[in-house]
Each structure stands twice: as structure tokens, then as C-alpha cells.
Amino acid sequence: MPDSLPMRRKSWLDQLFAGYDGPAFVLRLWDGWHWTCRAPNQPPICTVVVTDPKALTALLTKPNELTLGEAFVNGRLDVEGDIFSVFSIAEHIFSRPRRLHRQLAESLAIALFGLGQWLRHGAVSSRGRDRASIAYHYDQPVDFFQPWLGDSLVYSCAYFHESTDSLNQAQQQKLELVCQKLRLAPGERFLDIGCGWGSLALHAAGKHHAQACGITLSHEQAATAQRRIQRAGLDGDCTAELRDYRDLHNTHQIFDKIASVGMAEHVGLKNLPLYFGIAYDLLKPGGMMLNHAIARSALSPIRPDSFVDRYVFPDGRLVTLPEMLAAAESQGFEVRDVENLREHYELTLRHWVQGLQRSKEALLRHVSKTTYRIWLLYMAGAAAAFRRGDITVNQVLLSRSDKGRSGLPLTRAGWYAARAAAPIAQPEMVPREAIYGGGLRG
């Protein structure tokens, strides 16, 4: 290695990370050379490993979420240590002026790779690879989900009384929180829109003795939920149906309470008034709906080159909380309460990431390394986004007024009061054949 090369590398890295205030880290290149970005009285928290010069070139010439994600998924970039810390590093790189990126990239190309490599930078993914990567995310065996989602396979934000709560405990607490806010009572007709594998409907019927109906668009989820209902002996009190919420108008059913957990993210801004309008018509006067969904911060920019849009959730666009509330109010709902559970989702995602990392070898027997790395980066990145406040998750309690009467207590204390109820058995593992993928749900 020429004597000047280490100094050139150090020089452009010093420029790139001038003003960086995140955690200390080490950058290690493909040839073993390394550089440390130090923080006062703080040892490096991770090592960013660049295994291919193309990854470094792409990140400098077109620094965005997508180039970072693709480099990680394809193994050109790796992280040893705390994977969550890499997002502070990435945000700093993304925020650098374009002029600085261009100057550094040109200097880097000359110093490291030669002009030919510079002209060939940033190989764009083929259409075939994009399609394959999306398929990797959505079509996984159930053995991939069980080790990190927990026994109930609840793919939405948990609710932690303490940060030390286990994931399964926090998920059961979330199910109970939904029922408490709705003041679900024995015999009430309860609808769960987007019921997943049936955990909330089972909880509502088994613990609160409601007449619960869950609907989903997934054949596998509906069949699995129905099997769980039968095994719990709740056939007469609980059902799971393969049905689109827009088709419920034709059934002429009326419900006392409705919950939608992680469903509204799939509706889209244009269809939100229709979504809330149908829910309003399904509720009896005095009925309540709890809408639990991820929202985009109004100050968070919509990134044109999004890793999540490309590989995870291609048809999704998160709306802001005001947009969600406006859609609900436009259909006659009264907004009674809004609770932001942002920190709870970060904790949930950290549990999922730990489960992914802990079960890596077992998971790689069922999915490819590319699939595994997509999920790992997706979950870790989502945790970082919740931590920054770019996205939030909100529980919105809505009421259909009965001539001005909401039927709610005067204070929140009434929602959380202990209610006499029968216990429900711990949720079982779902059968191997029952699987349904999807983007991150509320």
C-alpha cells in the first residue's frame, strides 16, 4: 500500500465525519485498514465493515437509505456490535452537503480504485433482483417467525409496563390494553379488523367473554385463527373469517366495539374516509372503535429512495396523525383519546432484533441469508426511526355518539380499572403451513 494512501483515507474520513456527534465506531475496509471515529470518554460501540469497494463508492456518490440497505443486504457492508448505532452514522452521512460528497467520492476513486472503478460506481439493481428481494420478504415459512415474534405471533407493537417485561408478557398486556380502552364487556359484539392469527379475538372472547369476530385477507391467517379458536373451546364465542372490511356492509352486522391494530397503514390516505365510514356504520350508537396504527411525523421528510419501499412495504405510505384524525372525524367519529406508544415500539423492535440475532443459525435453515439480512436491517432501522421520532404509533379511541352520550368514564382511570374476567390460556404456536407476511404493522 503506498505510504500516502492511509493518510488520504484518513483525510477524507475526517472531512466526512467532521461535526459527527453520535457514538464512537470503527470503520474497517476490505484490505484490513481501519479508522476510528472517537467520542469523548466512549469506547467504539460497533465496527462498520466494508467488504467491497463498490459499497463505499455508492454510499459516497448517492448516500441514502436505499444504497445503505442494499449494501447491507448484499453483504458488501456489515456491522459488528450494536447494529442500532449504525443508523446514527448513516444519518450523519446523509446530511452532508452534496458538494462534499462529490469531492470526497472523486478523491476516493482516484486514491483507492482508479478512474475506471469510479466510472463504474453504483451498479443499479436489476428488476429481477428487486422482484426476488421483495418475494424473500413476503413468503417465509412459519419457522422463521416463531423464534422472534414470540409464542402468540403478534406482529404489532407490544405494551410494556416496565422496560424489563418479556416480549410475550408485553404482547399480552397490549391485547388487554385494547380491551380495557374499549371497556369490552361480556356478551358485547366485538370486531377485530385485520385479526392476524387471531390473538386479539381470542383474548376478547376468552378473557372478556365477548362475541368476537376477526376478519383478515389472508387464507392462512383465517384458517390458523379458526383452528386456535376450536382448540381453545371458543367456537360459540369467537370466529375468524376471510373477508375484506369493505364487504361487511353486505352482512348488515352491527357491533358494540371495533378494534383495528396495524391495519390502517395498509389503507392509504385516499381510502381512509371510506375505511372509517364503514367502521362508523358498523358500530351501534354509543359504540367505540380503537384504531392502533403507525404514523409518519409531519416533520419527517418522505424519502424518494427508501429501502422499506423497495424491499419491504412497496405499496405503503404512512399518513400523519392529523390526516388520520381528520379522516375519522369526517365520517362522524368523535376523537376521545390519543396515546402515543412510540417508545413501546422501539422496545418491541429491539426484542425482535435480538430474537433474529439469537436465532440466526436456526433461521438460516429456513430462509436465505439475503432474506435474513433484509429483516434484520428492516427491524433495526425501524427501531432507529421510532427512537428519532420520524415515525410514531398511536392508539386513537373513537366514539360514535348516542345523542351526545359517549358512554365513557370522566377520566382515564376508569379505563384502566381492574375488571373481573376469566383467564385465557397462553397462545399456542401456529402450524407450519399457516403463514402470512407483510410490512411492519402497528
Question: Residue 116: inside a domain, yes or no?
Answer: yes
Name the residue with higher pLDDT: 163 or 426.
Answer: 163
The model's confidence at residue 88, banded by pLDDT at 50, 70 and 90, is confident
| Domain termination site, one of 65, 93, 124 | 124
Say what the pLDDT of residue 328 is: 97
Same domain, 64 and 160: no
Question: Residue 104: inside a domain, yes or no?
Answer: yes
Distance CA 212, CA 400 (A): 19
CA 269 to chain centre: 18
Look up the domain containing 10 and give its range.
4-124
Please give the mean pLDDT across all residues of the chain: 79
> Largest alpha-carbon pair distance within the chain?
82
Question: Residue 431: inside a domain, yes or no?
Answer: no
Say what the pLDDT of residue 292 is: 97
Nearest alpha carbon to residue 374 among 385, 382, 386: 382
* DSSP letter string, 140-185: --HHHHHHHH-TT---S----SSTT--HHHHHHHHHHHHHHHTT--
Distance CA 64, CA 66 (A): 5
pTM of the shown model: 0.74
- β 283-296/255-261 pair status: parallel
Same domain, 313 and 346: yes
Question: Residue 182: inside a domain, yes or no?
Answer: yes
Lowest mean pLDDT among 2-11, 294-303, 372-381: 2-11
Question: Residue 364: inside a domain, yes or no?
Answer: yes
Question: Residue 11: inside a domain, yes or no?
Answer: yes
Distance CA 35, CA 47 (A): 10
Q: Phi and psi at residue 103, in whole multiples of 5°?
A: -65, -45
The three-state secondary structure class of 297 is coil
Mean pLDDT across 60-83? 76
Q: What is the pLDDT of residues 144-186, one digit of tens each?
A: 888 998 888 898 999 999 999 999 999 999 999 999 999 999 9
CATH number at residue 306: 3.40.50.150
Same domain, 59 and 177: no
Contact between 272 and 246 under an 8 Å Cβ cutoff? The reply is no
What's the domain count of the chain? 2
Same domain, 109 and 214: no
Report the 10 Å Cβ neighbour count for 262: 22
Nearest alpha carbon to residue 215 among 126, 282, 304: 282
Same domain, 235 and 164: yes
Same domain, 99 and 190: no
Same domain, 103 and 251: no
Name the residue with higher pLDDT: 235 or 9.
Answer: 235
Which of 129-133, 244-248, 277-281, 303-307 is most confident? Answer: 277-281
Same domain, 76 and 224: no
CATH number at residue 13: 3.30.1050
Same domain, 23 and 107: yes
Question: Residue 84: inside a domain, yes or no?
Answer: yes
Residue 116 has pLDDT above 60, yes or no: no
